[in-house]
């Protein structure tokens, strides 16, 4: 089910995308478009909810799943107490690569390599990114570009990080290619595509068995190996 609009995904023939649920009566689900269905199972998918009830209110980030949450300098440092860091609090395109960079940035603050600026300078930087978010994000591609630029900005401040801003954008273009594959092919097929590592130059192994048909994980090794990239 979708809340406001259909996804861009191409679904397998046995999956039917419906609008939001209006009510459930007995075994029958009623959707907001007036259609009904009698499913075998209902699975509630909540998405990513950022919830920090264990933190006292002055330290608590309260925001939706946002690409650039408020009150976080560089998307990491709690503006009201610079000794508190939030890692991975953003809505994510990059996910683990971004989190790794954020962790390095927080570490460099702790060890004194990076100095957190004044409150006024922090606020200016935050507002720059919020303005960029408000004016530049129009679709999925601009969403990704915003996060690529954010991660590249962090990397530019890390002298010993094993990557460069240019590499970040290379990784970003691979993510963009993955997204294009995701929306241009059946969703069940997207895991059968492989990509070339920007770090090793090796392309991932193409599975000999389509992933949706492999129920043992024994037909190939998804971690080790690879083939030399043509480029």
Tens-digit pLDDT profile for residues 5-45: 887 788 888 888 899 999 999 999 999 999 999 999 988 87
- Whether 36 contacts 46, CB under 8 Å: no
Residues 169 and 152: beta-carbon distance below 8 Å: yes
**Which CATH fold topology does 57-184 show?**
FAD/NAD(P)-binding domain (3.50.50)
Q: Against a cut of 0.85, is the pTM above it?
A: no
CATH fold match for the domains 1-45 and 57-184 = yes
Give the residue ranges of DSSP H helices in 30-164: 96-110, 119-136, 140-155
Among the listed residues 46, 35, 74, 80, the one whose alpha carbon sits nearest the alpha carbon of residue 62: 80
pLDDT tens-place string over residues 104-140 = 999 999 999 999 999 999 999 999 999 999 999 999 8
Residue 220 in this model has a pLDDT that exceeds 80 = no
List CB contacts of 180: < 8 A, sequence separation 6 or more: none
Task: Judge contact between 69 and 75, C-beta under 8 A.
Answer: yes
What's the angle, vertex CA 53, arms to CA 114 and CA 91, rounded to 5? 55
CATH: 3.40.1350.10, 3.50.50.60, 3.40.50.2000, 3.40.640.10. Which one for 1-45? 3.50.50.60
Domain layout of the chain by residue ranges? 1-45, 57-184, 197-231
- Position 211 scores a pLDDT of 74
């Amino acid at each position: 089910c979708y809340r406001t609009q259909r996804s861009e995904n191409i679904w397998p023939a046995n999956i039917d995308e419906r609008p939001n649920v209006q009510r459930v009566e007995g075994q029958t689900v009623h959707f907001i478009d007036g259609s009904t269905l009698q499913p075998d199972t209902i699975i509630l998918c909540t998405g990513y909810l950022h919830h920090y009830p264990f933190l006292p209110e002055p330290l608590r980030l309260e925001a939706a799943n946002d690409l650039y949450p408020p009150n976080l300098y560089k998307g990491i440092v709690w503006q009201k107490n610079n000794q508190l860091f939030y890692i991975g609090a953003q809505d994510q395109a990059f996910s683990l690569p971004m989190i790794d960079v954020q962790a390095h940035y927080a570490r460099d603050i702790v060890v004194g390599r990076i100095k957190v600026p004044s409150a006024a300078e922090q606020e200016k930087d935050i507002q720059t990114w919020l303005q960029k978010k408000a004016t530049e994000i129009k679709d999925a591609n601009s969403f990704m570009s915003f996060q690529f630029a954010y991660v590249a900005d962090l990397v530019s401040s890390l002298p010993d990080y094993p990557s460069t801003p240019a590499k970040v954008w290379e990784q970003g273009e691979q993510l963009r290619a993955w997204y294009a594959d995701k929306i241009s092919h059946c969703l069940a097929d997207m895991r059968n595509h492989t990509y070339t590592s920007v770090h090793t130059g090796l392309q991932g192994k193409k599975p000999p068995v389509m992933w949706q048909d492999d129920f043992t994980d024994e037909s190939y090794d998804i971690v080790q190996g690879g083939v030399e990239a043509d480029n």
